[in-house]
Amino acid sequence: MLSVRSTPDGRLRAAVVLGTRPEAVKLAPVLRALDDSPLFAPVLINTGQHREMLDRMLRRLGLTVSHDLAVMRERQELSALTARLIAGIGELIREERPDLVMVQGDTSSTLCGALAAFYEHVPVAHVEAGLRSGVLDDPFPEELNRRLVSRMTRWHFAPTPRAAAALTAEAVPTEDVMVTGNTVIDNLLWARDRADGRSAFRTGRRGLLVTLHRRENQGPRMRALADTLLRLADRPDVEVLVPLHRSPAVRDVLLPALGGHPRITLTEPLDYFDFIATLAACTLVLTDSGGVQEEAPSFDKPVLVLRDTTERPEAVRAGAARLAGTGPAAVHAAATALLDDPVLYRRMAAAPNPFGDGHAAERILDTLAHDFGRVPDRARSLDMLAAG
């Protein structure tokens, strides 16, 4: 049995650490479930690794922050960011003395949340565990982050059977791994019930929704991808929409390259509900985002993944996504094929979403409640998803 500090009313104190936009989206369902549960008292630690993009997301998702470390600096370097995160989170864990620390995914906030918890002897729950590209520096630094987090984690909540298998292949005990589905789907279903978003496309042309931000795509690769988008926008039947990430490394390249083209729309990051409405309205998604490629198949939208590796081959195997690479010719050919071949388009659009069933947060809470001795039965792993 785990040692329990708990609150005076007997609830378990769950510190949830997040710092970026996708962590807020993917932890929101768990935070709502923790709030609703009589067994848990959640403490939301916002590291502030992101600022405007995250604050707006937290507001829109109705999440209340307990602590804000405000670590973000313009053009932050990974080493300095890591130092601020580990010191700040460590101090809060000592102050709050939670029964567990929950982190999600593979950002710097994720790694430092887990490491600070480990240093304070607090068990770690990792949501979206087991994603692996197999290449240590791609995505950079996320592949290293997620591998390191798995070494410090007590509960590994894997979104798919493939992710669970990756963990057991690294000698993580099977009983510490639970296949839950991805919480991104829980949140999508929650948001769909509140659908008050508006599409950001300005015309009735076929919409290409593009997001780009990954560090390994910054610099020359992003310039080449921008040229490819310009070539695609030469088609009179399309509108290319690019909600720009706040990172200056992204804006320095995309704003001068794409601004001013009559069939390219550049916007600030979209409000989450507007983004979902835009996904629903588009024809095709081109992205290097993890979350976006998990969401798009729920709207029957084919995804071209603008990366050379993937830790989400489930979408490719299901037929919903294609790893298009970052080379201009390959990306242009892949997009053109989808725009011009209705059979290919329909096949990809019809592929199922392999990432979850919308009940991931329930499985996570049931497992934690059982392991802290609060309920007799442990949640059952999600076995309906085809092994990836």
Q: Catalytic residues, which ones?
A: 106, 128, 142, 213, 215, 245
Q: Does 153 bind ligand UD1 (CB under 6 A)?
A: no
Query: How far is 355 from 10, CA to CA, in rounded Å?
Result: 35
Strand order in the sheet with 264-267: 264-267, 238-243, 206-211, 284-287, 303-305, 321-323
Residue 306 or residue 385: which is nearer to ligand UDP going by CB?
306
**Least distance from C-beta 371 to ligand UD1, angstroms?**
28
For 118, the 3-state DSSP assignment is: helix
Q: How far is CA 284 from CA 77, 205, 289, 299, 320, in A?
A: 33, 12, 14, 11, 11
- Phi/psi of residue 358, nearest 5 degrees: 90, 5
Partner whose binding site includes residue 270, from ligand UD1, ligand UDP, none (CB under 5 to 8 Å by kind) = ligand UDP
For 68, the 3-state DSSP assignment is: strand
For 358, the 3-state DSSP assignment is: coil
Q: Does 113 bind ligand UD1 (CB under 6 A)?
A: no
- Phi/psi of residue 365, nearest 5 degrees: -65, -40
Partner whose binding site includes residue 225, from ligand UDP, ligand UD1, none (CB under 5 to 8 Å by kind) = none
- Among candidates 380, 369, 381, which has minimal Cα distance to 1? 369
Contact region for ligand UDP (CB under 6 A) — 91-99, 110-118, 270-278, 305-313?
270-278
Partner whose binding site includes residue 52, from ligand UD1, ligand UDP, none (CB under 5 to 8 Å by kind) = ligand UD1
Reported as type and span, the H/E element at residue 102 is: strand 100-104
Considering only residues 244-263, where is the footprint of ligand UDP by CB under 6 A? none
- Among candidates 283, 239, 228, which has minimal Cα distance to 264? 239
Partner whose binding site includes residue 243, from ligand UD1, ligand UDP, none (CB under 5 to 8 Å by kind) = ligand UDP
Give the count of alpha carbons within 13 A of 337, CB side only: 14
For 43, the 3-state DSSP assignment is: strand
For 24, the 3-state DSSP assignment is: helix
Tokens of 126: 């990792």
Q: Does 21 bind ligand UD1 (CB under 6 A)?
A: yes
Partner whose binding site includes residue 272, from ligand UD1, ligand UDP, none (CB under 5 to 8 Å by kind) = ligand UDP
**Least distance from C-beta 295 to ligand UDP, angstroms?**
6
**Least distance from C-beta 200 to ligand UD1, angstroms?**
18
Q: Does 53 bind ligand UD1 (CB under 6 A)?
A: yes
Residue 113 or residue 161: which is nearer to ligand UD1 going by CB?
113
Residue 80 or residue 337: which is nearer to ligand UD1 going by CB?
80
Q: Does 307 bind ligand UD1 (CB under 6 A)?
A: no
Peptide bond before residue 328 is cis, with ω within 30 degrees of 0? no
* Partners of 238 in the β-ladder: 206
Q: Does 145 bind ligand UDP (CB under 6 A)?
A: no
Considering only residues 236-275, where is the footprint of ligand UD1 by CB under 6 A? 246-248
When binding is defined by CB under 6 A, the residue of 157, 275, 299, 372 that contacts ligand UDP is 275
**Least distance from C-beta 53 to ligand UD1, angstroms?**
4
The contact set with ligand UDP (CB under 6 A) reads: 21-22, 25, 211, 213, 243, 269-270, 272, 275, 289-292, 295
